[in-house]
Copies of this chain bind each other. A is one copy, B any other.
Amino acid sequence: MKAISATGVHFTYDDGTEALSGIDFHVEEGEFIAILGSNGSGKTTLINLLVGLIKARAGRIMIGGQAIGELSAEELYQRVGLVFQNPNDQLFAATVEEDCAFGPRNLNLPEAEVQQRVTESLSAVAALPLRGRAIHHLSFGEQKRVSLAGVMAMRPSVLILDEPTAGLDPAGEAQMMQLLKKLNREEGLTVILATHSVDMLPLFANRIYVLDQGRVLQEGPSEEIFCHQEMIDRAKLRLPYISRLMYEMKRHDGVPIDGLPLTIGEAREQLLELIPKELIIAGMGEKRP
């Protein structure tokens, strides 16, 4: 079943900016979807529409088979959770624990259940030891994870994240993406993320939507998306570094490479096939993990 879908959606801001012009966006349950686009392409606007923060001027938005307008606020927010780009927007309580308990308490759950959800969601994001800490004493990476926990405590089946790795250092970025992968693969959450960083995505997303100036330029699995160099350029994006290397070798140097490797693993495989065995230092090849 479709977890969330937008059909022919248009949106114009009060000042006349046409942020979205005819978006079709469909996500199946359990998918891991990336919305890729440059600054100002409309990612945040689309996300805000999907969670009902703003209303589309035209078009239809469906959540789990129901039109978004038919759902009560409570139903809606237990199905879809949004993690904001800036954790400060979302962490409005004084402590980690109180913040995570905000959502469940709004659902009028008994206190024991609230506490259990807090524990669960904090452990899901590896932030249980932070429980009693004051929000303003957390580091940026910790704040990001705690804000995710606060949303998780609502137990949504669709998790939408606006630039989840923005501002994180490499270690934090990898941790966040692993976390999202785990939530998607193990807990079965549908994950939708908006981003303009291209390098991490291919490893995680089932499908990518490329947005440009309020339109979907292209949609498909990452292998397909990154084949279209001109489309990528038009969207003011770039290929992942690895793909760029492979692309240049294929295009300019005439090296016969199949398709376009996106990850280090794929690139390694293809390159090893091209390099004569006798050049490879003996005894080293074994160590390949």
Contact = CB atoms under 8 A, between A and B. Distances in A.
Interface of A: 37-40, 139-141, 166-172, 174, 196, 198-199, 236-238, 240-242, 244-245, 248-249, 251-256, 264, 267-268, 271-272, 274-276, 279-285, 287-289
A190 B91 CA distance: 39
Given A242-B241, A242-B242, A167 B166 contact: yes
A255 B275 contact: yes
Chain copies in the assembly?
2
Given A199-B199, A245-B245, A268-B248, A169 B254 contact: no
B255 A272 contact: yes
Contacts of A244: 264
Given A236-B171, A237-B171, A256 B279 contact: yes
A283 B254 contact: yes
A140 B264 CA distance: 32
Contacts of A248: 264, 268
A174 B94 CA distance: 39
A1 to B, nearest CB: 33
Interface of chain A, main secondary structure: loop
A84 to B, nearest CB: 14
Nearest to A284: B254
Rank and list the top 9 A-B pairs by shortest CB-CB distance, nearest first. A254-B284, A171-B236, A38-B169, A254-B281, A169-B196, A241-B241, A170-B238, A252-B288, A254-B280
A280 B166 CA distance: 40
Contact of A241 (B37, B240, B254, B289): B240
Nearest to A200: B241
A98 to B, nearest CB: 21
A151 B203 CA distance: 39
A282 B254 contact: yes
A267 B241 CA distance: 11
A253 B272 contact: yes
